[in-house]
Amino acid sequence: MTAATSSKPRGRGRSAARARSAAAGWFLLLPALLLVVLFFLVPMVIFFRYGFGTTEDNGIGDSGFTLEHYKSFLTDGYYIDILLSTVKIAAIATVFSVLVSYPLAYAMWRTGSDWLRVTLGVVAFLPMLVSSVVRAYGWQVVLADHGPLAWFLDVAHISDNPPELLFQTSGVVIGMVHMFLPFVVYPVYTSLQQIEPEVLESSSDLGASWFTTFRRVTFRLSLPGLVAGAQICFTLVLGSLVIPSILGGGRVKFLPVTIYNDTSSVEWPIASVESTVLLVGALAAVLVFGAVSRRTKVK
């Protein structure tokens, strides 16, 4: 639009070339557009339609219109419990992901040795390449009775009565933090890297202690990366099924698990309502984190 208004067409040759270029553009874009419309947007719309379908006549809910499913979701304490538990797990997992990722990214940034930086980088990203099922299984073994954690606590004489983490919210959170760590480390590291060394030098030249410099300069300047990482982590947690299934063992209330179960038992309308709620939650998170991110940008 701007290109068309800013430069006036000069003669027929130019405008013909421009039309050809636009046609070529659409031709190149067409496969991607078809793929996304046919196999992403249309399926989503059809699926959300089920949330409003009546189940009286033939039972699967692709016709009629009712708000009954939404009403039962929003008024039933059972669903509200699941929703609150889901948000709680996502929030705690995000906070801990940031707490573990920040020192890792900070060390990658501050270390003088290239070898250590590459090693830390590989360590941070290696889990991303290992299937989520493998990692969930690994934590199941670590946290189990008679597992390595219990063994360590016993041998180190810390406790001979290990804490119960498996099939609890805490176990699910540990698995989530491990799962989504790389997605927080990378943006934090990128924003730390963009800090100019002169800024830090002038802060300490002006007599600021390390802590003051960190708090008022480094941390402030790395906030956009931190917020971006937290947003990615929060959204990814909302979509995960493997960790809560394997580490929650059916005892931890988590919306994706409920969606999985309801879809398996062909209760599509309520699965559709739950999915819509989850999607709205994810979009709300994007908006909130986006607003926070804009406020943290330093000019």
Binding residues for another protein restricted to 259-288, rule: CB under 8 A: 259-260, 263, 268, 271-272, 275, 278-279, 282-283, 286
Residues 38-67 that bind another protein (CB under 8 A): 38-44, 46-48, 50, 62
Indicate which single residue of 16, 36, 74, 291 sits in contact with another protein (rule: CB under 8 A).
36
Using alpha carbons, select from 181, 173, 163 the residue that is nearest to residue 247.
173
Burial label for 68, CB within 10 Å (0-12, 13-18, 19+), is: middle
Residues 211-270 that bind another protein (CB under 8 A): 235, 238-242, 245-246, 256, 259-260, 263, 268
Q: Cβ 221 to another protein, closest distance in Å?
A: 14
Q: Cβ 220 to another protein, closest distance in Å?
A: 17
Among the residue ranges 19-27, 71-79, 156-164, 215-223, the one whose residues contact another protein (CB under 8 A): 19-27
Is 298 a binder of another protein (CB under 8 A)? no
184's CB contacts (< 8 A; 6+ apart) are 97, 98, 101, 105, 226, 229, 230, 232, 233
b/e for 205-223, b at 16 or more Cβ within 10 A?
eeebeeeebbeebbeebbb
Q: Cβ 244 to another protein, closest distance in Å?
A: 10
Q: Cβ 169 to another protein, closest distance in Å?
A: 18
Is 33 a binder of another protein (CB under 8 A)? yes
Distance CA 115, CA 237 (A): 32
Residues 153-182 that bind another protein (CB under 8 A): 178, 181
Using alpha carbons, select from 182, 181, 189 the residue that is nearest to residue 111.
189
48's CB contacts (< 8 A; 6+ apart) are 272, 275, 276
Q: Cβ 268 to another protein, closest distance in Å?
A: 6
